[in-house]
Amino acid sequence: MLKIIIIDDEKIAIEELAFVLSKDQEVEIVGKYTDVKAGIESIRTLKPDAVFLDISMPGINGFIAAEEFKKLVDDIQVVFVTAHDKYAIKAFELDASDYILKPFSEERILLAINRLRGKKETDKDHNHKILKKLPVWKKDSLMLINIEEILFCYVKEGSVYIVTESQVYTSEETLAQVEIRLKQFNFIKCHRNYIVNLECITNIVPWINGTFILKLNGTDEEIPVSRNYNKAIRGVFHI
C-alpha cells in the first residue's frame, strides 16, 4: 500500500488528483492540504511514502517544501504536479520522483503511481541499488543496454527510438516513460520529441527564433532544442 499526501493551494486541484489516485486500490490518501505548513507538519506523524504537490504556492513554494520533507523522512518520494514546464530541471536537481504537467490525464497519474510503487519495491529488495540498464528491442530480441551508451532518444510516427554510437534500438515505452527512467542519469528533454544525454553534448549552436541545435559525440545527427526547452538547456550549462 502506498500512503500519499496531496498539497496544492487550489482545493479543486486536490480533489481532481485525489479522485484519480483513488482508482488504484493499493493507494491510500492519508492527507490533503491547501496549507503548505500544515502539509509539512503532517509528514512528521503520517510518514507517507510519497507527496504529490504543486510548485507555485503562496508562502512556501513546492521546492522549499520538498527540502523539508526529505529532512523529516529520508526515503520520501516527491512528485511535482504543476502547470509550468520551466521548473523541471530544478525539480530533478532536488531528486524528484516525477514531474507532471497540468492538465494531466488519468493515464499519466497512474503511470506515476506505478513508477513510485516500482521504486519502493526496488529500494526494498535491492538495497537501494540503481539499475543502469535500459530494456530495448532490436528486431525481435529484447536487450539490456548500458544507459551511459545512449546518445539520445526520440519519437517518430509513434515509435520511440534509442540511439547509441553503433546501434539504433526501439522501445515499447512512450517517450515520457523513457524520460522517467533516464531522468536521474543526466538526460534532459530538449524538444517534445527528443531526450538527450547531457554528457555527450559537444556544441550548442544558436538557430532560428531563439532555438538551438545540439551536436553530440558519436553521431552526425543534429538534435533540435525547441523554444519551450531552451531555458532548460541554458540553465544546465549556465549560458
Cross-strand pairs, 171: 160
CB contact burial 179-194 (16+ within 10 A = b; e otherwise): bbbbbeeebbbbbeeb
* pLDDT, greater one: 65 or 129: 65
Cross-strand pairs, 77: 50
Cross-strand pairs, 224: 213
Query: pLDDT tens for residues 76-103?
Result: 999 999 998 888 888 877 888 889 999 9
H helix runs in 22-76, sequence order: 36-46, 62-72
CB 100 within 8 A of CB 88: no
Whether the pTM exceeds 0.75: the reply is no
CATH number at residue 69: 3.40.50.2300
CB 49 within 8 A of CB 2: yes
- Work out the number of other CB atoms within 10 angstroms of the CB of residue 31: 17
> Are 17 and 113 part of one and the same domain?
yes
Choose one of 76, 106, 125: the last residue of a domain.
125
C-alpha cell recorded at residue 168? 539504433
> Are 145 and 175 part of one and the same domain?
yes
Choose one of 72, 96, 125: the last residue of a domain.
125
C-alpha triplet 30, 35, 38: angle, nearest 5°: 60
> Are 119 and 173 part of one and the same domain?
no
pLDDT at 88: 85
Query: pLDDT tens for residues 31-72?
Result: 999 999 999 999 988 999 999 999 999 989 999 999 999 889
Distance of alpha carbon 239 from alpha carbon 232, whole angstroms: 10
Choose one of 95, 125, 155: the last residue of a domain.
125
- Counting the structural domains of the chain, the total is 2
